[in-house]
């Protein structure tokens, strides 16, 4: 497993490799497409199966682990998820905590919101203590509450596939965090408009594989598809060396000093 692994080449900063039908093949295809590093978001699965699925292709990858915030926080599953968050430890070989955050698509009541917020806080505390960066899942109305929770911790965060108002995006960047964009930046105006509020040194590229992005084909994505993000960025801002810039951004998020914070 590689950490920085980002010489000249592309980086997929968020892929659920263990969910792909052929992770090893996907990594080989990614390498052939010029991808040089992948963040494998393994979630709570710290078992041998998830890691074995992505270990053999030889492409540098790093593992992120955490309790996903899209849970039924009002029900028994949410109570159990909070208990797991209270016991959460990233484990050996973990390079980032994630994806964690606040529910954005799952309806939750007041008690569920409190559980979700506590689970996020518990995992942020673990990340801070371990010096690990954080992958944040919090979009639309959850983005700013998540940003405010982050302010209490000295951690480096990337808001993955962010959807939020411009003022929230700018506040996230002002707090020293990063924002990652997906292949939907190729065609979705919402995602393209987001870039106007993010300086190049705060952008990462991701696929969220196997999430489908092409509105015509609707086929599962894989890390090789991150090339579409680079092409879109180059078309929008051709003056930027996006290959070098995003590799440097990924290293800074993964390995750099913590963002200002702490309460």
Q: Is 137 annotated as a binding residue?
A: yes
3-state secondary structure of 24: helix
Query: For residues 59 and 90, which has the higher predicted lDDT (pLDDT)?
Result: 90
Here the tokens at position 223 are 């890390």
Cα gap 250→4, rounded to integer Å? 8
Here the tokens at position 76 are 């028994």
Residue 32: pLDDT above 80? yes
Q: What band does 2 get if pLDDT is binned at 50, 70 and 90?
A: very low
**Cα 29 to chain center, whole Å?**
21
Here the tokens at position 150 are 């982050």
Here the tokens at position 153 are 């911790």
3-state secondary structure 45-74: CCCHHHHHHHHCCCCCEEEEECCCCCCCCC
Q: Is 16 annotated as a binding residue?
A: yes
Say what angle helices 110-130 and 76-86 make with each other, to 10 degrees. Answer: 20
Q: What band does 39 get if pLDDT is binned at 50, 70 and 90?
A: very high
Here the tokens at position 54 are 């992505």
Q: Which helix (H) or strand (E) holds 235?
A: helix 227-236
Cα gap 246→237, rounded to integer Å? 13
Domain extents for the chain?
Answer: 10-255
Per-chain mean pLDDT for the chain: 91
Cα gap 229→101, rounded to integer Å? 24
Out of 111-120, 237-246, 248-257, pick the least confident.
248-257
* Beta bridge partners of residue 10, listed in sequence order: 35
Q: What band does 135 get if pLDDT is binned at 50, 70 and 90?
A: very high
Q: Are 262 and 154 in contact (CB under 8 A)?
A: yes
Which segments within the chain are labelled E, that is strand?
Answer: 10-15, 35-43, 61-65, 94-101, 134-137, 157-160, 178-181, 203-205
Cα gap 201→98, rounded to integer Å? 21
The arithmetic mean of pLDDT across residues 134-156, rounded, is 98
- The CATH code of domain 10-255 reads 3.20.20.140
* Beta bridge partners of residue 38, listed in sequence order: 12, 61
pLDDT of residue 61: 83
Q: Is 197 annotated as a binding residue?
A: no
Using one digit for the tens of pLDDT, what is the confidence trace for 202-247? 999 999 999 999 877 778 999 999 999 999 999 999 999 999 999 9
């Amino acid at each position: 497993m590689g950490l920085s692994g980002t010489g000249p080449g592309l980086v997929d900063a968020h892929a659920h490799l263990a969910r792909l039908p052929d992770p090893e093949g996907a990594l080989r295809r990614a390498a052939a497409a010029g991808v040089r590093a992948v963040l494998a978001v393994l979630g709570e699965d710290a078992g041998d199966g998830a890691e074995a699925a992505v270990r053999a292709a030889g492409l540098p990858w790093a593992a992120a682990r955490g309790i996903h915030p899209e849970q039924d926080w009002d029900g028994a599953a949410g109570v159990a998820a909070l208990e797991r968050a209270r016991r959460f430890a990233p484990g050996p070989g973990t390079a980032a905590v994630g994806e964690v955050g606040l529910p954005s698509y799952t309806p939750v009541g007041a008690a569920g919101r409190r559980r979700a917020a506590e689970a996020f806080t518990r995992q942020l505390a673990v990340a801070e203590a371990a010096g690990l960066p954080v992958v944040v899942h919090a979009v639309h109305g959850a983005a700013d509450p998540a940003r405010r929770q982050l302010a209490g911790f000295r951690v480096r965060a990337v808001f993955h596939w962010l959807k939020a108002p411009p003022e929230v995006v700018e506040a996230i960047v002002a707090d020293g965090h990063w924002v990652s964009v997906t292949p939907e930046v190729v065609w979705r105006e919402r995602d393209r408009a987001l870039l106007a509020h993010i300086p190049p040194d705060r952008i990462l590229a991701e696929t969220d594989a196997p999430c489908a992005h092409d509105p015509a084909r609707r086929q599962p994505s894989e890390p090789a598809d991150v090339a579409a993000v680079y092409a879109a960025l180059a078309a929008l801002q051709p003056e930027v060396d996006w290959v070098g810039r995003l590799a440097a951004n990924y290293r800074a998020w993964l390995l750099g000093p913590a963002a200002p914070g702490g309460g």
